[in-house]
Amino acid sequence: MNIENIILYLKDFLTIYGLKIVGAIAILMIGMWVAKVITRGIVKVFNRKDFDPTLTKFLSSIIKTLLYLVVIIAALNQAEIETTSLVAIIGAAGLAIGFALQGSLGNFASGVMLIIFRPIKVGDFVEVAGVMGSVEEVGIFTTTLTTPDNKVIFVPNSGVTGGNITNFSMKDTRRVDMVFGIGYSDDIDKAKNIIKNILENDSRVLKDPATQIAVSELADSSVNFTVRPWVNSADYWGVYFDTHEAVKKKFDEMGVSIPFPQTDVHLFQNN
């Protein structure tokens, strides 16, 4: 094939396919730009709606990838390149990957649900999947907790959403449940007033709702008081520990006994 024939072939090719190729390139360039604009707009909407940054970043990347894929397929169609087989291959690959990553996809779906509905958030003290700790991160696949003794636990998101979620930080106030026992020979009113005075002098104990102090059980070795003050959530453990210590010291000072389980043994002599 000589040079003239090559030139004629190129002219024919450009005459037939030139506009289509130019159109495909235009679709590709404009489509990519439009995809970026749409993605930025979606990110702005998510930010205004106070979406979690992790979810915003992840969803925006997925949307951007899908838009790019649509643009590429449209450009190939404009250039009259067969895309049916390509779409079929992509679909089959997606299905295979979905089956292979079934567990991970379940964790991803659970992560999206956690981020959207926000039953827990960073900083909350929670109990999920049988463990307790402060939420460090709600990720796409796992939730990270830090336990009170500073252990880091990674809980799969499907485990979080698959059971009960106890959020100790969602409400501003919490009730502290305590039980104190006194001896059967001790004065009930005296012990009750001691506990009442201790709690009334603690500025962390809230006035509303009112503190409940009541005899709840006549046990085997003690008369038990159920004590239920209300506090701000951040003061829960401080009030719990300090009240136990203060009650013990005041009972000792005022001569109120705190009994412990004991058994009376009676010996009979047979003459």
Tell me the mean pLDDT in the region 209-218.
Answer: 95
**What pLDDT does residue 78 have?**
75
- Residue 27 confidence class, pLDDT cut points 50, 70, 90: confident
Average pLDDT over residues 165-184: 94
pLDDT of amino acid 21: 75
Encode pLDDT of 66-106 as tens digits: 888 888 888 877 777 666 666 666 666 666 655 555 567 78
Signed CA dihedral, 74, 75, 80, 81: sign only: negative
Residue 217: pLDDT above 70? yes
Alpha carbon distance 151, 166 (integer Å): 19
DSSP letters for the chain: --HHHHHHHHHHHHHHHHHHHHHHHHHHHHHHHHHHHHHHHHHHHHHHTT--HHHHHHHHHHHHHHHHHHHHHHHHHHTT---HHHHHHHHHHHHHHHHHTHHHHHHHHHHHHHHHH-SS-TT-EEEETTEEEEEEEE-SSEEEEE-TTS-EEEEEHHHHHTS-EEESSSSSEEEPPEEEEE-TTS-HHHHHHHHHHHHHT-TTB-SSSPPEEEEEEE-SS-EEEEEE-EEEGGGHHHHHHHHHHHHHHHHHHHT----------------
Q: What is the pLDDT of residues 11-25, one digit of tens each?
A: 665 666 667 777 778
What local confidence, expressed as pLDDT, does residue 11 receive? Answer: 62
- pLDDT of 93 reads 63
Q: Is it the case that residue 1 has pLDDT exceeding 60? A: no
Hunting for tokens 């701000």 — which residue is that? 232
In this predicted structure, what is the pLDDT of residue 95?
Answer: 60
Percent of the chain whose predicted confidence (pLDDT) is above 90? 43
What share of the chain has pLDDT > 70, as a percent? 81
**Residue 19 to residue 21: CA distance in whole angstroms:** 5
Q: How confident is the model at residue 149 (pLDDT cuts 50, 70, 90)?
A: very high
pLDDT at 18: 67
Residue 260's pLDDT is what?
A: 79
pLDDT tens-digit map of 103-134? 677 888 888 888 778 898 888 999 999 999 99
The residue type of 123 is G
Domains observed in the chain: 3-100 (1.10.287.1260), 119-167 (2.30.30.60), 173-254 (3.30.70.100)
Average pLDDT over all residues of the chain:
84
